[in-house]
Amino acid sequence: MSSPAAESTGVFPLKKRMAHGLALLSGLLYFLAFPGIDLWPLAFVAWVPLIVALRGQSPRTGAALGWTAGFTMTMCGFYWLLEMLKTFSGFPTALCLVFMSILCAYQAGRVALCGWLHARSAQRGWPTGVAFAGAFVASELMFPLLFPWVYAATVHQIPVLLQLAELGGPTAVGLCLVAANLAVTELVLARLERRKPNWKLTGALAAAPLVAAIYGFVRIPMIDAQTRAAPKARVGIVQANMSLMGKRRDKHEGLRRHLDLTKQLQTSGPLDLVVWSETSVMAPQDEEIAPALYRNQFTASLGAPAIFGAVLVRRVQDARNYVLFNSALLSDGRGEVTGRYDKQFLLAFGEYLPFGEQFPKLYEISQNSGRFSPGTTLAPLALGGRGIATFICYEDISPSFVRSIVRTGPTDLLVNITNDAWFGDTTEPWIHLALAKLRAIEHRRFLVRSTNSGVSAFVDPVGRVMSHSGTFRQEALAAEVAWLRPWTLFGALGNAPWWLVSAGALAMAFVRRKRAASE
């Protein structure tokens, strides 16, 4: 990673077969390091084969190598898509595998973008380490994904390495891991090119995760002290474990389970708040009468404030006739519904028809498409002077979206309600939790996460899972959380610095570096 001119000498560029073999290896290592498999030490070397393979390659080949790595990783990591497609499409396995491959081929475009940017920048004379780091940031930030993920999640079990998220979100954590990969790459390249390693560069790169760990060791006790001093609340989580079809067939059974499990929690002490999962109250209700109906039906008898999932209906004067809202409602201790948040990140076709709101006539063509409408407010739910940032389903894996809710109003707690039963008893629920953990660190608040079938969990402000449920079991958990409202750099700036880095990465891909006279 010294002089870019050296890239096309000696053994480099590698022949395509060998280069793609290395890219495939990177994809496998990435998959093995990721949540679900959790061989996290591989996160420090997973990129190395790909970076070596990219040495001296053209931008076109760089994109192809990145795609090979990304496709390998996503086909392995998103294996659960196959069963989901078989279950809900009814198509044969072979056809579902085709659909899965198409989706993973698109998702692999993120790593293809990384490979292309890196090769373009190196070709224009920029140091390859800087080029790859910039390409990594740009690809994680800029490439749109249907199922988002971040490299930082590979070390979700190691809190000391995650604390940089309060400064720069997942990208800061991921970049430290990339630095370690670049350090190892320099040693590999030096051996292959039969030269001495650049020890200063290697040492500086290898120091990045060490600095992150030191920062974590310092910050964790500080945050723990703030947590001990803050006012507390006893919060309950209910996981009813209703099957996807069972929720629709017997809407009363889901409500009964939630009520019984809530009472079970209250036998060991009063609750300051209980959280039920997404669409825990399954029967759709007109939004005008729902608050009174829910009060008479169950909230008045709960004996505690509650956040619960509901499906609300609004009549509209167009071809749709009505629209639905995937909502989180807050009831107070008396059972009055006092707050509402409507899901905003909707799943295309499953929950809504693209352009359906602008052109309602489209629903006459696609009558089976979901008629959910996105919410229009990010305001946290208010409970006794406290603000609760509430988000539904996979909204919790978007750092920028959760930040927007936290910044909309005073916020003391993060709450997510979701339903991962769509994906079966696979690694997906554990991946989802691992990605969601980072929100607690970014904003230094407790995260309370209630899911229909798991994994439900309490996460503290340093990213430690205090307790969690299993998958596909009826469970009720309770824990003491603190009401916290600290300031964080990520909360203030978000991804703005990384957008600047991404702009720099794009500039390097198109602007030739001016070489110093001494080079």
- Residue 144 covered by a domain: yes
Confidence of residue 3 (pLDDT cuts 50, 70, 90): very low
Give the pLDDT confidence score for residue 514 in this predicted structure: 82
Please state, in angstroms and rounded to a whole number, the distance separating the CA atoms of residues 163 and 141.
Answer: 20
Q: Are residues 53 and 79 in the same domain?
A: yes
Question: What would the pLDDT profile of 83-103 be if each residue is shown by its tens digit?
Answer: 888 876 678 899 989 999 999
Tokens linked to 129 = 């380490």
Residue 404: other Cβ atoms inside 10 A: 15
**Distance of alpha carbon 117 from the chain centroid:** 24
Tell me the average pLDDT of the chain: 93
Please state, in angstroms and rounded to a whole number, the distance separating the CA atoms of residues 305 and 328.
Answer: 13
- Residue 54 covered by a domain: yes
- Residue 1 covered by a domain: no
Please state, in angstroms and rounded to a whole number, the distance separating the CA atoms of residues 5 and 7.
Answer: 5
Q: Are residues 260 and 405 in the same domain?
A: yes
Give the pLDDT confidence score for residue 422 in this predicted structure: 84
The three state secondary structure string of 485-503 is CCCCHHHHHCCHHHHHHHH
Give the pLDDT confidence score for residue 478 in this predicted structure: 98
Q: Are residues 372 and 311 in the same domain?
A: yes
Q: Are residues 422 and 348 in the same domain?
A: yes
Confidence of residue 244 (pLDDT cuts 50, 70, 90): confident
The pTM of this model reads: 0.93
Average pLDDT over residues 204-213: 97
- Residue 427 covered by a domain: yes
Residue 518 predicted with pLDDT over 60? no
Residue 2 predicted with pLDDT over 70? no
Q: Which of 297-306, 343-352, 372-381 has the lowest mean pLDDT?
A: 343-352
Q: Are residues 91 and 147 in the same domain?
A: yes
Q: Are residues 132 and 237 in the same domain?
A: no
Please state, in angstroms and rounded to a whole number, the distance separating the CA atoms of residues 183 and 287.
Answer: 57
Domain coverage including residue 309: 231-483
- Residue 518 covered by a domain: no
Q: Are residues 315 and 435 in the same domain?
A: yes
Confidence of residue 5 (pLDDT cuts 50, 70, 90): very low
Q: Are residues 220 and 235 in the same domain?
A: no
Give the pLDDT confidence score for residue 369 in this predicted structure: 58
Residue 225 predicted with pLDDT over 50? yes
- Residue 2 covered by a domain: no
Q: Are residues 179 and 311 in the same domain?
A: no
Give the pLDDT confidence score for residue 516 in this predicted structure: 54
Q: Which of 171-185, 438-452, 503-517 has the lowest mean pLDDT?
A: 503-517
DSSP 100-112: HHHHHHHHTHHHH
Residue 142: other Cβ atoms inside 10 A: 16
Tokens linked to 110 = 């993120």
Q: Are residues 380 and 275 in the same domain?
A: yes
Q: Are residues 235 and 202 in the same domain?
A: no
Question: What would the pLDDT profile of 246-273 be if each residue is shown by its tens digit?
Answer: 877 888 899 999 999 999 999 999 999 9
Question: What would the pLDDT profile of 472-481 be if each residue is shown by its tens digit?
Answer: 999 999 999 9
Q: Do the bridges between strand 337-342 and strand 381-383 make them parallel or antiparallel, or are there none, so unpaired?
A: unpaired
> CATH number of the domain that 283 lies in?
3.60.110.10
- Residue 3 covered by a domain: no
**Distance of alpha carbon 257 from the chain centroid:** 29
Please state, in angstroms and rounded to a whole number, the distance separating the CA atoms of residues 180 and 202.
Answer: 9
Residue 350 predicted with pLDDT over 70? no
Q: Are residues 70 and 95 in the same domain?
A: yes
- Residue 364 covered by a domain: yes
Q: Which of 279-293, 351-365, 437-451, 485-499 has the lowest mean pLDDT?
A: 351-365
Q: What is the DSSP letter of 83?
A: H
Residue 218: other Cβ atoms inside 10 A: 11
Q: Count of domains in the chain?
A: 2
The helix, strand and coil proportions of the chain, stated in percent and rounded to the nearest 5, come to 50, 15, 30
Question: What would the pLDDT profile of 269-316 be if each residue is shown by its tens digit?
Answer: 999 999 999 999 988 999 999 999 999 999 999 999 999 999 999 998
Give the pLDDT confidence score for residue 290 in this predicted structure: 97
Q: Do the bridges between strand 465-468 and strand 386-392 make them parallel or antiparallel, or are there none, so unpaired?
A: unpaired
